[in-house]
């Protein structure tokens, strides 16, 4: 008999580990023309409650975030085996770091600690901005634990709970 998943409150370590194991999120924003998604490299921060990423503020998602900081994101493991599907759906808010701030320097340190090969690319794109995606809600799916197995999380974010690491 096949195992079936259950939904429940998850162990935050499961979410933290999943986010550390992966490196690309698909960030979804909205505007009057509709929804928009963009794949972006990220580095986990704030004990898994936030993701640091960089982008061009003139991009469609950059403009959308300037108008409305709410965003959704997905991080998942690519597989052709349905029993090995793992991924997380995120809902949160995004803030842009002030250029030259201590917080931006810390975000840069965290990100380049994970992606050191990005340093020379950043010198070629001085208009790049640094952002923090605060995770307000997460749903982790792990079919290895049973088809449709889900855990829900509400990590500490900018409005509550202990925060460590990057600061604005």
In this prediction, residue 157 carries a pLDDT of 55
Strands 70-76 and 86-96: antiparallel
Low-confidence ranges of the chain (pLDDT < 70): 1-10, 156-168
In this prediction, residue 98 carries a pLDDT of 94
Q: What is the C-alpha separation between 117 and 109, in angstroms, rounded?
A: 13
Q: Which of 139, 136, 140, 138 is nearest to 156 (CA)?
A: 136
Q: pTM of the predicted model, to two decimals?
A: 0.84
In this prediction, residue 10 carries a pLDDT of 65
- CA distances 127 to 6, 26, 106, 113, Å, are 45, 21, 18, 21
End-to-end Cα distance, the chain: 51
Q: Domains in the chain, ordered, with CATH?
A: 7-153 (2.30.110.10)
Residue with token string 């090995």 = 84
The token duo for 88 is 């997380």
> Bridge partners of 74?
26, 89
Q: What is the C-alpha separation between 110 and 71, in angstroms, rounded?
A: 22
38 SS3 class: strand
Q: What is the C-alpha separation between 111 and 103, in angstroms, rounded?
A: 12
Q: In the chain, what percentage of residues exceed pLDDT 90?
A: 61
79 SS3 class: coil
In this prediction, residue 23 carries a pLDDT of 94
């Amino acid at each position: 008999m096949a195992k079936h998943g259950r939904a429940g409150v998850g162990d935050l370590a499961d979410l933290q580990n999943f986010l550390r194991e992966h490196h690309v999120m698909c960030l979804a924003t909205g505007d009057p023309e509709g929804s928009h998604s963009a794949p972006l490299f990220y580095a986990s921060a704030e004990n898994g409650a936030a993701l640091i990423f960089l982008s061009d503020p003139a991009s469609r998602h950059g403009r959308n975030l300037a108008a409305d900081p709410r965003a959704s994101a997905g991080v998942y493991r690519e597989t052709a085996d349905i029993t090995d599907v793992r991924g997380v759906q995120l809902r949160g808010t995004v803030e842009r770091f002030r250029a030259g701030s201590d917080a931006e320097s810390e975000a840069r340190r965290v990100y380049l600690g994970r992606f050191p090969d990005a340093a020379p690319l950043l010198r070629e794109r001085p208009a790049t901005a640094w952002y923090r995606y605060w995770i307000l809600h997460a749903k982790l799916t792990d079919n290895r634990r049973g088809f449709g197995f889900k855990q829900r999380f509400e990590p500490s974010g900018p409005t509550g709970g202990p925060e460590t690491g990057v600061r604005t």
